[in-house]
Amino acid sequence: MAKVKCVSCGSDRAEILISGKLLCPKCSRQEILHRVRRNLGRSGINLRGSRVILTYPEFYRNEANLLKSFIEKVCSNCNFTIKEIEISGDGQVNKVMRDLVLTSIRESENQVILPFTADFFAAYLIYSSGSPEGSYLSLYGLRSKVSDKVFISPLYDTPLTELRGFSELTGELKTGDELFNGIIEWLHSEFKDNEVFHTFPPSIPVIVSRFATCKRCGALTKSEYCRACSVELALEK
């Protein structure tokens, strides 16, 4: 294969395309760290002296660990604690997302960090397009709110394919949901230039805006509470 120069440092090991720039692994890692730093700033999250939780399904464990190391780097003297909560990744994606939200809102911390990447949200949009109701597309974006908790996704605009410079990641995502896995595999094989992951997910807020969000779990709904929460709340009475 012909050697291609990194547009940032000029070395001839360029192999990773990030925001239209072909970079070597080392420069790609710097670019991603820079993006995460900027996103954390824009999110309004207050790390200094605070306690935050990082909640993730087991299939996002490596990415969550990486994200944790980014945050520690970005705010190295901030004296904050990150509590990690890993939940099961078994079953359908909507069930996993529901577990994740309900687990997070039971904790005392008010700021929740999520590891989800742009390609996850792109696949989730396709996955949910037949029936968005009951999905958690409402979590798309840098910052969202469920109940009284703030959810921050610093990787929401970065697909896994832009994280290939980090050797600790496999670049694959194997959820417990075969349909979802098929969609994400198709997106990865069909759109190798990553552009789709920057242009496609912004249509999610347009779809989300057609719905209300469940007051308890944040799922898209047509009423005050989603169907699953309505059932659970009725049982609690």
| Interaction of residue 217 with Zn ion, rule CB under 5 A | yes
Nearer to Zn ion, 37 or 215 (CB): 215
Q: Are 96 and 181 in contact (CB under 8 A)?
A: no
Cβ of residue 233: shortest distance to Zn ion, in angstroms? 9
- Candidates 22-30, 38-46, 140-148, 157-165: pick the segment binding Zn ion (CB under 5 A): 22-30
- Candidates 5-13, 58-66, 116-124, 173-181: pick the segment binding Zn ion (CB under 5 A): 5-13
- Candidates 25-33, 102-110, 125-133, 185-193: pick the segment binding Zn ion (CB under 5 A): 25-33
Cβ of residue 104: shortest distance to Zn ion, in angstroms? 13
Q: Give how far Cα 144 sits from Cα of 18, 26, 81, Å.
A: 25, 32, 21
Cβ of residue 178: shortest distance to Zn ion, in angstroms? 25
User: Please, how many CA atoms are within 13 Å of residue 52, restricted to the half-sphere of its CB?
Assistant: 23
- CA pair distance 197, 16, nearest whole angstrom: 15
Residue 138 one-letter amino acid: S
What one-character-per-residue DSSP string does 41-83 give? HHHT---TT-EEEEEEEGGGHHHHHHHHHHHHHHTTTS--EEE
Q: Are 45 and 150 in contact (CB under 8 A)?
A: yes
Nearer to Zn ion, 173 or 220 (CB): 220
Of 18, 24, 45, 139, the residue at the interface with Zn ion (CB under 5 A) is 24
Residues contacting 129, CB < 8 A, separation 6+? none
Nearer to Zn ion, 134 or 159 (CB): 134
Q: Are 16 and 165 in contact (CB under 8 A)?
A: yes
Of 47, 101, 183, 219, the residue at the interface with Zn ion (CB under 5 A) is 219
| Interaction of residue 229 with Zn ion, rule CB under 5 A | yes
| Interaction of residue 226 with Zn ion, rule CB under 5 A | yes
- CA pair distance 83, 104, nearest whole angstrom: 11
Q: Give how far Cα 77 sits from Cα of 29, 31, 35, 38, 64, Å.
A: 21, 22, 19, 17, 21
| Interaction of residue 97 with Zn ion, rule CB under 5 A | no
| Interaction of residue 50 with Zn ion, rule CB under 5 A | no
- Candidates 38-46, 119-127, 143-151, 210-218: pick the segment binding Zn ion (CB under 5 A): 210-218
The tokens describing 116, both together, are 């989800």
| Interaction of residue 6 with Zn ion, rule CB under 5 A | yes
Of 18, 27, 93, 204, the residue at the interface with Zn ion (CB under 5 A) is 27
Contact residues toward Zn ion (CB under 5 A) are 6, 8-9, 11, 24, 27, 214, 216-217, 219, 226, 229
